[in-house]
């Protein structure tokens, strides 16, 4: 009886370990296939900015981080002011702090809408500012950010940023 009980516990442990391994592999596989991963350069000519003016240049780098992503944004504003901010966040709608000099937000929360689409909600001092719908084209060459809300200066924002994969 003791030997049978041990056998059952070993089988249960093996099944639990196998399930954990399969789930872990599924997370890694999902991360590896996220079409947003990579380096993206803003195509200012294809983008619209309201309010303007548009930045001179902007690059977004999106990398896997656990079950979420790490985002780094760099560039130059129209007046030459450097752009440098980012975050690391999971797709769990929890709030994560931003680093750097983003004048419109100090936290972000993420959720996945579909395989190619995510939503990022930004807040500044506890108040929602911008919501970005981020989608990657079927061919994986274009990342589009539809941004709406109110910026850190209280201005209404309705912009579409078009990035090309580098």
Q: What is the pLDDT of residue 31?
A: 47
* Nearest C-alpha neighbor of 116 from the set 144, 136, 90: 136
Q: What is the pLDDT of residue 4?
A: 54
Question: 28-31 long-range contacts, Cβ below 8 Å, gap at least 24?
Answer: 31/64, 31/67
Who contacts 148 (Cβ-Cβ below 8 Å, separation ≥6)?
A: 130, 131, 157, 158, 159
Asked if residue 86 lies in contact with residue 74, where contact means CB atoms within 8 angstroms, the answer is no
Of 42 and 24, the structure prediction assigns the larger pLDDT to: 42
pLDDT in tens, 54-101: 999 999 999 999 999 999 999 999 999 999 999 999 999 999 999 999
Mean pLDDT to the nearest integer, 3-11 = 51
Q: What is the pLDDT of residue 33?
A: 82
Q: What is the pLDDT of residue 23?
A: 41
Distance between CA atoms of residues 119 and 14, nearest Å:
38
pLDDT in tens, 103-133: 999 999 999 999 999 999 999 999 999 999 9
């Amino acid at each position: 009886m003791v030997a049978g009980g041990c056998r059952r516990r070993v089988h249960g442990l093996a099944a639990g370990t196998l399930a954990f391994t399969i789930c872990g592999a599924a997370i890694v596989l999902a991360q590896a296939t996220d079409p947003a991963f990579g380096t993206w350069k803003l195509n200012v000519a294809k983008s619209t900015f309201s309010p303007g003016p548009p930045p001179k240049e902007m690059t977004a780098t999106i990398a896997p981080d656990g079950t979420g992503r790490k985002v780094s944004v760099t560039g130059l504003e129209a007046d030459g002011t450097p752009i440098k901010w980012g975050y690391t966040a999971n797709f769990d709608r929890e709030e994560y702090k931003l680093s750097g000099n983003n004048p419109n937000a100090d936290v972000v929360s993420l959720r996945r809408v579909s395989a190619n689409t995510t939503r990022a909600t930004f807040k500044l001092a506890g108040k929602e500012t911008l919501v970005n719908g981020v989608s990657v084209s079927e061919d994986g060459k274009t990342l589009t950010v539809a941004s709406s809300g109110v910026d850190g200066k209280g201005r209404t924002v309705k912009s579409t940023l078009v990035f090309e994969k580098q």
